[in-house]
Amino acid sequence: MKVRESAGVISQEEIAAGIFSLQLSVSFAGETLPGQFVSLFSKDGSRLLPRPISVCEISDHAVRLVYRIAGKGTEEFSRLSSGDSVTVMGPLGNGFPLQACAGKSVLLAGGGIGIPPMLSCAEGFRRLEKEGQPSGILLAAGYRSETYLLPELEKACRTYTATEDGSLGSKGTVLDAIRENGLHPDILFACGPKPMLRALKEYSEAEGIECWISMEEKMACGIGACLGCVCETKDIDGHSHVYNTRICKDGPVFRAEEVIL
């Protein structure tokens, strides 16, 4: 059940140019699933709409958000520090089907700001392993040049990197890293920009790999009421009765074949 509350800021730091890691104390941390997101509300009354941010890490009483400054709202959040508070609503959306995929080989693919939710997935699979449900987890992360979260990713699972300039790992995209290293999982989880998701969807279809993707989209309400974040689908949506679906409510995670990119 989603909750709206005033969350205490535990800590915040800039971990790469314009990219911040924000730790929040929230009552719903224990209810949050890898792949879900939260909405943060500005203290400026002129900014009515909340900003959706994916959850990067989950603990018993806190969530970690890693986000990029993209406008005035996220710039405001970047000034938060320990002891401050911010209004948050969550957990929102669905999550990746970790439990259903336990025991299989799973490749986590993240590009850009789509990398943080892949860390929550990797750590989620590690928790399942401790419960006696081992899986083969690999992770491919794509960056422009500057990296972030790599120590945490490498601690969670075997990690392959790609950079556009070739400064680390494979030169090119996440898909280049997958092909160069001969990775062929049973299941693919992916989050990142639409061109990346489109390429991974085509790759998974050609290779016969089950694929789940998390869609990034600008949102208004974040709870499915406004239809401001719809994407085109293969089948008719039961809510709107047209060929689309709400990313915030019905997603952000979908089977790749369900959506048209």
- Identify the domain boundary among 177, 193, 216: 216
pLDDT of 217 > 70? The answer is no
pLDDT (tens digit per residue) in 21-72: 999 999 999 999 999 999 999 999 888 889 999 999 999 999 999 999 999 9
What string of DSSP letters covers 79-138? T--TT-EEEEEEEES----HHHHTTSEEEEEEEGGGSHHHHHHHHHHHHHHHTT---EEE
Verify that 102 and 43 share a domain, yes or no.
no
Verify that 68 and 23 share a domain, yes or no.
yes
| Total of domains in the chain | 2
Range of the domain at 144: 98-216
Please tell me the predicted confidence (pLDDT) of residue 185.
Answer: 96
221 domain-assigned = no
Residue 124: CATH number of its domain: 3.40.50.80
Please tell me the predicted confidence (pLDDT) of residue 244.
Answer: 79
Write the CA distances from 162 to 20, 23, 59, 150, integer angstroms: 21, 27, 29, 12
Strand duo 51-58 + 37-41: pairing: antiparallel
- Identify the domain boundary among 92, 109, 129: 92
Verify that 130 and 206 share a domain, yes or no.
yes
231 domain-assigned = no
Q: Rounded to two decimals, what is the model's pTM?
A: 0.93
